[in-house]
Amino acid sequence: MLPKTRHFLVLALGVSIGLSLGLVRGVSAEKPPDAAGELPWQDARMLAEVLERVKHDYVNPMDDHHLLQAAIRGMVSSLDPYSAYLDGEEYDEIKISSSGEYSGVGIEVSMEDDQVVVVAPFDGSPAAQAGIRSGDVIVTIDGIPVNTTTLADTIGRMRGKEGTLVKIGIARDGVAEPLLFTLKRSRVELHSVRSELIEPGFGYVRIAQFSETTAKELQAALGALRLRNKGSLRGLVLDLRDNPGGVLEAAVSVADAFLDGGVIVTAKGRTAESKFEMDAMPGDDLSGAPIVILVNGGSASAAEIVAGALKDNHRAILMGRQTFGKGSVQTVMPLSEDRALKLTTSLYYTPSGVSINHRGIAPDIELERDLKVPAGSGDEPPAAKRDPEVLRALQELKKPSAPRGPPKTAYQPVRSSR
């Protein structure tokens, strides 16, 4: 297991906060240029020369601070697609994503066919109280069309200071004209887990991303499903489609909830902090009931850790399409002036010792992208009616060959938080 006194909070996609400070190595121009670890003086001179040229000849005036900030950003971003230098706003966004709380209108959205679609409004949020529904399409924010090339822009524009107003234009099926909602931003808790009893004995759990609250939300969701079912579940559909990842420790806790033992994930890097192994503790929260995990090309990073751990430990069937293939770990290191460095520090490996970086995980059962509801399925439960892949997963759960974990023992230790 990873030591609990660890000073870095490790990320699988970069949505968590490190607790240690980054160190900056000083460079002396008077030491020999070939000294180990020193910046070559020729490159330092070239940097100074480029800065001077830009300041003197660029069409618009530029100050030294702006140019040096851009140089730092470019240096870090050139390392790989996931390392980044974060300014104050970007660092705040990281904190919001990992903490599970922000100020906004309370909508989970996704990008579908170049449209920003409402997945669901959060219970009790301004969006839910105003009547925004699942399936609504957001077309404008404060009268300006949404950016259909990046979801982050839309999310950022809906967030803001608590108590401020934002106008959201909605296109809704069956309504000819766009609907305009004026919402007052408020404190919103991010819910990464949604659940539903799709038919007696069988549950559905959707994890949208992995934040610091995900493990606790999962436990609550499983408890609610057992309560609605008036007993233990016979099977579970775990939906990780389009889950971009998040906090590594949250993914480990989710996998641990369904495993009675075994390796969950290992990681290898250059520093002692970046090398670790995380193992499951005794106790399976489903008492061995079968699991089908839905994945696709949007399932990445922490989502792939969960999928890989349950697949390699023969605890679940993966269904859907090849996952994204992000097998690197990022650590966020606070810097001075409320800035931070998000740096790739490790590559992680599934329990079988395989790195999925740039490869992804192949599902056990591959589904076509445009899977249609089979004929005669009109009596199926609502979740399956809405989503044919959920119906297919439910059918798989009912097969006698569905993988089962060992039965839960009478004694189960309390899980420590990670």
Predicted model pTM: 0.72
- Domain chopping of the chain, boundaries: 102-189, 193-330+347-397
What residues are labeled active site?
301, 312, 326
CATH code of the domain occupying 102-189: 2.30.42.10
Task: Please provide residue 182's backbone torsions phi and psi, each rounded to the nearest 5 degrees.
Answer: -105, 115
Instruction: Read off the pLDDT band of 23 (50, 70, 90).
Output: very low
pLDDT digits (tens, 9 = 90+) for 144-157: 999 887 777 888 89
pLDDT of residue 123: 66
What region, left, alpha or beta, does residue 209 occupy, with left being phi > 0 and alpha being psi -120 to 50 degrees?
beta
193-330+347-397 shares the fold of 102-189: no
Instruction: Read off the pLDDT band of 188 (50, 70, 90).
Output: confident
Please give the Cα distance from 251 to 368 (Å, whole number).
Answer: 27
Helix H or strand E encompassing 130: helix 126-130
State the angle between helix axes of 248-258 and 302-312 in degrees (0 to 180), rounded to the nearest 10: 30
pLDDT of residue 242: 82
Report the pLDDT averaged over residues 357-368: 94
What is the token pair recorded at 217? 């939300």
CA 254 from centre of chain: 13
User: Which CATH code, of 3.40.50.2300, 3.90.1330.10, 3.90.226.10, 3.30.200.20, is assigned to 193-330+347-397?
Assistant: 3.90.226.10
